[in-house]
A and B are shown apart, each in its own frame.
Chain A
Amino acid sequence: MEKRVTFKGWLLPMLLLAPQLIVSGVFFFYPAGEAVWQSLFIPDPFGLSMQYVGLGNFEYLFNDPYYRASFVTTAVFSTLVTLVSMIPALFLAVLADRLVKGAGTYRTLLIWPYAVAPAVAGVLWLFMFNTRIGVVAFYLNQMGYDWNHVLNEHEAMGLVVVASAWGRISYNFLFYFAALQAVPKSVIEAAAIDGARFWRRFFTIVLPLLSPTTFFLLVVNIVYAFFETFGVIHTITSGGPQQATTILVYKVYADGFVGQDLGSSAAQSVVLLVVVGFLTVLQFKFVEKRVHY
């Protein structure tokens, strides 16, 4: 059944592969290798001298309780962002899928937030919840709730999660919506004739059929929560209060670019690389088995 194309020589296949290989080499393998190399040193910021410390940077990191706590913060943060961005997206997609009239408008409006850059989204949410001029903070205050994410760790975490997840809901919505359109109507109709109600049909037929999409989004959203939420955290909390919202990637930035501690920053990048690599392998090995293609 499968079609296999065979090449006669080496030249053409290498030539065809070259663009991808060069891009990966220049933008991934070279910098990653450089990070691994740098993580073995404590350099001064100007690159005038370097002290070889072996695994000293890693030892320093893992002896730091605040670094270890940052793993927990990152786990909580990325789990919440993934859930908060995927569940409402699926819900909205199911609703949009059932619409007969005006589906186009509804869809377009739902996709809009994705066009907002994370840093801008951060500022938008910050303004809404600003303790002095924020609209939401004002109404919460009217209701007798004293909103203060500047000092309250849980409120700060909630705010960065919502601000990070908001734009992602659109992205996830798009994928779910497309996937729902691809669910064969005949299967659903057959189930309906058998007497299955909407939610029953949803959980036993639609959801399993969506599992490839769910799996894809799970991987993509976790990677997003790990690496691309920097702008949101930087604009809203800068990692505070205390260290409540200091996720791993923010610490890489803070130590490397604010603190000029490039050795520690490089070591953290290496750790991050390993963690995300491990997570991805784990997902493909275990979660993917439950996916029906």
Chain B
Amino acid sequence: MKNFALGAALASASLIAPFTANAATEIQFWHAFTGRLGELVDQQVKDFNASQDQYEVVATNKGNYSETLNAGIAAFRAGEQPDILMVFEVGTATMMAAKGAIKPVYQVMEDAGVDFNPDDYIGAVKGYYTTTDGKMLSLPFNSSTPVLWVNRDMLDEAGVAKDAPLTTWEDVGKVLDQLKASGVDCPMTTAWQSWIQLENLSAYHNVPFASQENGFAGLDAKLEFNGPVQVKHIQTLGDWAKKGEFIYKGRRNEGGADFRAGTCALFTESSAGYAGIKSEAKFNFEVHPLPYWGDVDGAPQNTIIGGASLWVMSGKDDSHYKGVAEFLSYLSSPEVQAKWHQDTGYLPITKAAADLTREQGFYDANPGTDVAVKQMTANAPTENSKGIRLGNFDQIRGIIDEELEAVWAGDKTAQDALDNAVERGNQLLRRFEQANR
């Protein structure tokens, strides 16, 4: 009898438990972070859930950026989309074109009556995710920008003077010669070649990557990255590759392992490489602003971002959107953003978070961590430097990768390769235009 009573009590308890849990509205949040970043996101979600009892955010990892976007799209087609989907910057045009599938963030905030001002965000971040008339469509989350990482020990060994400048690519060329002459096998490598050596290069020198304000002003944009500045840069890198001064390691961030292991001296990579480099590098490293060409007028302009933003999916109950607004507002608070910036090396995307980080003395304790912020905010973004918004962009990057590989292998000149990439990319843009007419 005793057992029966216990059983009944347990049974009723288990019946009640889900009922009380259901009192809070469940908000599904799909993201693309694993490892350390995944833990940090889980912590943010946990803190939010603990801060109130109306909503329960459930964060789920859906693979890498491409896989997460795919999962979101497949789920939408099946009518089972999450409330919030993390989409990398390259997928921005795809999401923007899907008008029936998303609910713009400014609208979510407005409907929920949550205070939200896009101007709180630093210009280059805001510009990437807002319409031309200033309406924010998705919430910037993790943003980074490319910088130059330097292995100071290797430079010292090669006899490079401590004060030898690394400001312009001309300076870098001289240092590379010195490194090569002293027998360094990998003087320089890069991660994300299209993002750093073409997209950011274009913005940084204030030349267009594509027409129509890099695609912001219309779907009929055409690629224009085969101009003289880009050709000169890619040709120079190609020449360095031939001399063994620039070593190509792969399309993604394969070169990171080489830099962290201390085999490559210079490395152009995202500022978010900070966490990994800091924990693994057994040498003195420095962060320098991305170099620019000294002979180009208007350089350095500002670099652009990479990373992801949070999109709110349509087709959910109104009660959900209220919770989504609360959660997004929590995520963009200065405290949460400042901690995220300091933990990961991603940029502080709001001005308040940057100020808070400075007040907390983080930049003084970790020199170089503010290089990326300064480089991005040095100038007000122009048409050419507020970002890139092109359809089928993930595939276009694939084409650029292929054509650049032809340059590094010495099969094509920079002009041929870039002309070809532009032509092939334009075909994809026209297809995207057709699909979204």
Q: Which residues of B contact A60 (CB under 8 A)?
A: 427, 431
Take A51-B435, A150-B249 as given contacts and tell me if A44 and B97 are in contact as well, using a CB distance cutoff of 8 Å: yes
Report yes or no: A260 in contact with B258, Cβ–Cβ below 8 A. Answer: no
- The distance in angstroms between the C-alpha atoms of A12 and B380, with both chains bound, is 78
Of A96-104, A108-116, A236-244, the one touching chain B: A236-244
Chain B residues touching A, range: 35 or more
A-B pairs under 8 A by CB, number? 91
Q: How far is the CA of A153 from the CA of B406 in the complex (A)?
A: 10
Interface SS of chain B: helix, strand, loop or mixed?
A: helix
- Which of B100, B254, B263, B434 is within 8 Å of A46, CB to CB? B100
Judge if B232 is at the interface, Cβ distance under 8 Å.
no
> How many A residues have CB within 8 A of the partner chain?
34
Q: Judging by beta carbons under 8 Å apart, are A151 and B100 in contact?
A: no
Is B248 a contact partner of A260 (Cβ separation < 8 A)? no
Q: Report the Cα distance A150→B251, complex, angstroms.
A: 9
Q: Which residues of B contact A255 (CB under 8 A)?
A: 395
| Consensus secondary structure, chain A interface | loop
B435 touches A152 (CB 8 A): no
Contact with B along A128-149 (1 / 0, CB 8 A): 0001100000000000000000
Bitwise interface map of B from 62 to 83 toward A, beta carbon under 8 Å scored 1, else 0: 0000100110010011000000
Q: Are A46 and B431 in contact (CB under 8 A)?
A: no
Looking at B254, B258, B435, which has the most chain A CB atoms within 10 Å of its CB?
Answer: B435
Contact between chains at B76 and A46 (CB < 8 Å): yes
Closest to B90 in A: A258
CB distance from A82 to the nearest CB of B (A): 27
Answer whether A45 and B73 are a contact pair too, CB < 8 Å, given A132-B258, A260-B94.
Answer: yes
B156 close to chain A: CB less than 8 A: no
Is A261's CB within 8 Å of the partner chain B? yes
Residues of chain B whose beta carbon lies under 8 Å from any beta carbon of chain A: 66, 69-70, 73, 76-77, 94, 97-101, 248-251, 254, 257-258, 261, 263, 392, 394-395, 398, 401-403, 405-406, 408-409, 411, 424, 427-428, 431, 434-437
27 contacts between A and B (CB under 8 A): A42-B434, A43-B435, A45-B94, A46-B77, A47-B76, A49-B436, A51-B434, A51-B435, A51-B437, A53-B434, A64-B427, A131-B249, A132-B257, A132-B261, A151-B405, A238-B251, A240-B401, A242-B406, A254-B395, A257-B70, A259-B392, A259-B398, A260-B94, A261-B392, A261-B428, A261-B435, A264-B431
